[in-house]
Amino acid sequence: MHKKNTISNNQIKNLLITSVIGVGILSLPSNMASILDNDGWLAILVGGLLIVPLIFMVDRLFKMFPNKDIFQIGEEVLGRILFTILLIVIIIYTILTLAYAIRVFGEVIKGYLLDRTPIKVIIITMLLAACYLARAEIEVLGRMATMVYPILIGLIIFLVLLSIAEGDFTNILPVFNADFTLLPKGILISLFSYAGYEIILLAYTTSDNKKDALKYTLRGLFIVIGIYVITFFSTLSQLGVNQLKRRIWPTIAIANEVDLPGYFIENLDGIVLTLWVLIVYTTLGPILYTGGRALAYIFNTRSHDIFILPLIPLIYIVSIIPDNIISVYENMGIILGYMVIISAMAIPILIYLVALIKKRRRKA
């Protein structure tokens, strides 16, 4: 029988993949192409590889403090007050990410599926649905991710098949021809697509087989990188670099352009988007869960579920601040880019470094 509040490594892997891949996959190819032209995939790849040391670091951190979760470790290392301040930063980041994701989601759904429904209604309903997942325990998140994972993979395979059938692979060429002084900028923007990986900070300690957790987490990360790179290539091969730059959501655009032979379904973008709802859902849920857990730590309560619903109005208000989708990507996106680097990357590094220094000092 499985133990309460433990999840398998495979579930951690799936949780990582489904949490990271969400709204970003729609715009990532176009963002990358507008900076690095045909070599956008390089930024995606390097950005992803930059997460690898972070994952090793998380692994080391949890090995340093066996059988403790991230909140206990943070408190022990940084002290309750400093850690609480950092957690507040993380909660703000959570609200911003969710607001950004839900706004983009709302715009996409409104644009492609429900043109007459107010975007506010779409945002609220989706947030409320995400609440249902976020209120659950980590096991449920893991199970849900595992159920959605095959659907995600199916969608990606479908995209690849489309590009094989319709794409022109000469569009990928020329490679290594971009202005590489822009590479750091590209990497910074691609890092944002890996936001959501921090769910492993919560999931890692619940693994039922901690020995192999690192292996599975890395595998998950590589699958994410693979999916992003594949998406980039398949949109590039179908649209060409100039078209790709101009589209906001090239990933939907390529689904729109095909007619299946002997077609029963005319516009595949509708179907792809419908399934994409699932993928966004499994991104929103875990991030919301993270926020709830952080609040539960700050207010020192045992269960996190009471904090999920109060977050919803905040997320909603933030999400409707930008006037239009361009503003979402330009203003919100830039703020969030920094927030991701601070909260999802800098804070874990800080905890790790302080823990390391404290340990050295204790030894000496």
Partner 1 sequence: MLISKNLQENTENIKAIFKDCDDIVYRNIEIGKERIKALIIFVDGLVDKIVISEFAIESLLNSEDLKNNMENIRANIAEKASTQHLAIHDVKEEEDLNKVVDAILFGETVLLIDGADKALIMSTRAWPARGVQEPQTETVVKGPRDGFTETIRFNTALVRRRIRDPRLKVKTLRVGRRSKTDVVIMYIEDIVNEKLLQEVYKRIESIDIDAVGESTALEFLIEGNYLSPFPQAESTERPDAVAASILEGRVAILVDNTPFVILVPSTIGTIFQSTEDYYTKWPMASIVRSVRFFAAFLTVLSPALYIAVTSFHPGLIPSVLAFYVAASRINVPFPAVVESFLMELTIELLRESGTRMAGPIGSTIGIVGGIIIGQASVEAGIVSPLKIIILAVTTISFFAIPNYEWALSLRVIRFIFMILAAIFGLYGVMLGIVTLMVHFAKLESFGIPFTAPFSGLGLKDGDLKDTLAKAPLQKLAFRPKFTFPKDKRRYRRR
* Interface positions with partner 1 (CB under 8 A): 1-2, 7-8, 10-11, 109, 113-114, 117, 122, 125-126, 129, 132-133, 136, 139-140, 142-144, 146-148, 263-267, 270-271, 274, 277-278, 281, 285
CA distance 14 to 16: 5
DSSP-based three-state secondary structure for 324 = coil
- Judged by beta carbon, residue 77 or residue 134, the one nearer partner 1 is 134
Shortest Cβ 199–partner 1 spacing (Å): 16
Shortest Cβ 256–partner 1 spacing (Å): 11
By C-alpha distance, which of 65, 41, 47 is closest to 171?
A: 41
Residues contacting residue 38 through CB under 8 Å, at least 6 positions apart? 172, 173, 174, 175, 177, 178, 236, 241
CB of 211 to partner 1, least distance (A): 17
- Contact status, residue 110 vs residue 122, Cβ threshold 8 Å: yes
Please state the closest distance from residue 119 (CB atom) to partner 1, in A. 12
Give me 201's structure tokens.
Answer: 């900070």
What is the nearest approach in angstroms of partner 1 to the Cβ of residue 65? 27
Structure tokens at 328: 């979402």
Copy the structure tokens of residue 95. Answer: 């609200």
Residue among 245 and 304 whose Cβ is closer to partner 1: 304
Least distance (Å) between residue 277 CB and partner 1: 4
> Which pair of tokens denotes residue 256?
């729109």
Q: Would you say 42 or 254 has its CB closer to partner 1? A: 254
333's CB contacts (< 8 A; 6+ apart) are 100, 192
- Omega into 348 within 30° of 0, i.e. cis? no
C-alpha 251/C-alpha 163 separation (Å) is 11
- Of residues 266 and 330, the one with the C-beta less far from partner 1: 266
Nearer to partner 1, 2 or 211 (CB): 2
Nearer to partner 1, 118 or 313 (CB): 118
Q: Both tokens of residue 3?
A: 């133990």
